[in-house]
Structure 1
Amino acid sequence: MEDLRLVIITGMSGAGKSQVARAMEDLGYFCVDNLPPALIPKFAELCAQSAGRVRKIALVVDIRGGEFFDTLVQVLEDMEKQGFFYEILFLEAADETLIRRYKETRRRHPMAPHGRISEGISRERDRLEHIRGRATHIIDTSDLSTAQLKDKIAALFAGEREYERMTITVVSFGFKYGIPLDADMVFDVRFLPNPFYVESLRKKSGETPEVSEYIWKWPITQQFMEKLGGLVDFLVPNYIKEGKSQLIIAVGCTGGLHRSVFVANKIYEGLRNKGYKVNVEHRDIKHNIVEPC
């Protein structure tokens, strides 16, 4: 079943499987944690029959499954005979790294709930030896930050187009109605010339040609947009490189009708022309009486 991408996430306890699962979710994978191996074929079959609604799944399977985990190799061999294609991502880390992580979180190792962490790690390595030998990908997380691990996962499991893009939303707003709580960046454009004080423009929004032309004609607007464009062009690729999957750029003026709408549209057009996945929202136009464009 080639249309379905199935990734089995397994490996050492404390090596970062939960972080990887969250990263896979950000890439659009349907993730299930601690699924008994015996249920994997049926689950994969259901996903394959979902008429394309579920095409990428990631399953975390590890020694928490107890005796069920020991059937994983046999289950995977049976799936191969049935025509299922799968990948195994095995996560590991050095003993000293795993011990330090367990001590920091004060968790008990599942293979040594009443003994030393080092003993549990040793037992787990022995138990995972066979599945490690079948792994498609092996990642040692000993020296990886969360961002670096996320970057590796994206490189392995996201299509090139998905990896190079993140979702960007540009939001215009009025400060009198509050700053958007989910904003990553906020730009205050209340210093720009205000069409509110031009009688013929007061009730028109920043989306109308008349208001846009009025705001754009001032040198300060053109200087600001040049500097703002350079800043956004610098930041967005670096946010993508860091592994950020969503970016909210908020632009505010007094009422959210004129200047913020105009600037938000300019940012949106610039990002769209560069190929980014971007949306624009004008949050507070609805609070104002606006004449049609």
Structure 2
Amino acid sequence: MKFIIITGLSGAGKSQAVRVLEDIGYYCMDNLPPALLPDFADLCLHSKRNIDKVAVVVDIRGGKFFNDLFKSLYDLEEAGFEYKILFLDASDEVLIKRFKEQRRPHPLSTEGRIIDGIESEREKLDEVKMKSNYIIDTSNLTTAMLKEEIRDIFLEGKETKNLTVSIVSFGFKKGVPLDADLVFDVRFLPNPYYIQELKDFTGNDKNVREYVMKWEQTKVFTEKLIDMIDFLIPFYIKEGKSQLVIAIGCTGGKHRSVTIANVLYEDLKEKEYRVIMNHRDCEKS
């Protein structure tokens, strides 16, 4: 029997995750007290319904009962049950925005600041995050992207690394992305903006991409950039980082940065990293 335990930060997408698993045939239970995990697993195993795939949400809503989680995990192992833990995470800024949009209090700060509740929850979940088999950072994922990611892992059985690489192209004149971990400036490359027949296109268009990529300095830079990212990513994974934001900027965020970001995205996608793309300023005037 496949047994998935879903946990993570409040507002990070656990409800969406359990719905996806339900859609692909898992028998799902939300907000189960951790102490009941062994009994629930045994009940499902011996059910006349022939339940062979189970997903359970266990999170901080259980209050003091959440402290029973690690004992219950030990009891599951002693009883011979194999399980996987899926941990949903997101940045503080994104979580605060989601709570404000939904006008909901954080379960650990019903009368205080949202950030206080998030920080307290992170501390309580730190140990279980380290024990998790799959970590998905939903900060820059749409609901459709999250659905695809979960289906890839639990339906298609694809190998996944617990790191989401988010590539952002941007224009320096509109500001550097606040959540960027690595920032690369490509304003030294020849600018298609000054070529009349290319000015109104973007790095997503073949003619602009060919112009940007034809220069020797572009080829050397791209090769060195890919080599550096290949070197760094395994160390970020080893460190336990769940999201890496790589920002690539040019003046307006429309031509050079878009082109280089696309090249890096394609390379990482081919290497089967979990990677998402955001051309922040591409369509802005």
TM-score normalised by structure 2 residue count: 0.54
When residues 197 and 277 of structure 1 are mapped into structure 2, their CA distance, relative to the original with a 3 A threshold, is: same
- Asked if 1:244 is matched to 2:254, the reply is no
**In structure 2, C-alpha distance between the alignment counterparts of 1:211 and 1:275, rounded to whole Å:** 27
Counterpart for residue 55 of structure 2: 55
Counterpart for residue 279 of structure 2: 282
Written as runs of structure 1 = structure 2, the 5 A alignment for 1:165-204 is 165-204=162-201
Identity of aligned residues (%): 39
**In structure 2, C-alpha distance between the alignment counterparts of 1:203 and 1:255, rounded to whole Å:** 12
**In structure 1, C-alpha distance between the alignment counterparts of 2:227 and 2:165, rounded to whole Å:** 17
When residues 284 and 274 of structure 1 are mapped into structure 2, their CA distance, relative to the original with a 3 A threshold, is: same
Tell me if the contact between 1:171 and 1:249 (Cα under 8 Å) persists in the aligned partners: yes
Counterpart for residue 5 of structure 1: 4
- Superimposed CA distance per residue, residues 66-125 of structure 1 (whole angstroms, 9 cap, x where no aligned partner): xxx8xx99xx89xx8xxx9577x9xxxxxxxxxxxxxxxxxxxxxxxxxxxxxxxxxxxx
Unmatched tracts of structure 2, length 5 or more: 19-28, 86-124, 135-152
SS at match of 1:240: helix
Tell me if the contact between 2:160 and 2:273 (Cα under 8 Å) persists in the aligned partners: no
State the one-letter code of the partner of 2:195: V
SS at match of 2:189: coil
TM-score normalised by structure 1 residue count: 0.53
Number of aligned residue pairs: 201
Q: Which region of structure 1 is more displaced relative to structure 2, 238-247 or 53-62?
A: 53-62
Tell me if the contact between 1:172 and 1:283 (Cα under 8 Å) persists in the aligned partners: yes
- Asked if 1:265 is matched to 2:267, the reply is no
RMSD: 4.9
Counterpart for residue 14 of structure 1: none
**In structure 2, C-alpha distance between the alignment counterparts of 1:56 and 1:171, rounded to whole Å:** 34
The offset of 1:183, in angstroms, is 1.4
When residues 224 and 151 of structure 1 are mapped into structure 2, their CA distance, relative to the original with a 3 A threshold, is: same
Tell me if the contact between 1:195 and 1:201 (Cα under 8 Å) persists in the aligned partners: yes
When residues 35 and 251 of structure 1 are mapped into structure 2, their CA distance, relative to the original with a 3 A threshold, is: same
Written as runs of structure 1 = structure 2, the 5 A alignment for 1:120-159 is 151-154=130-133
The offset of 1:245, in angstroms, is 1.4
- Asked if 1:229 is matched to 2:217, the reply is no
SS at match of 2:229: helix
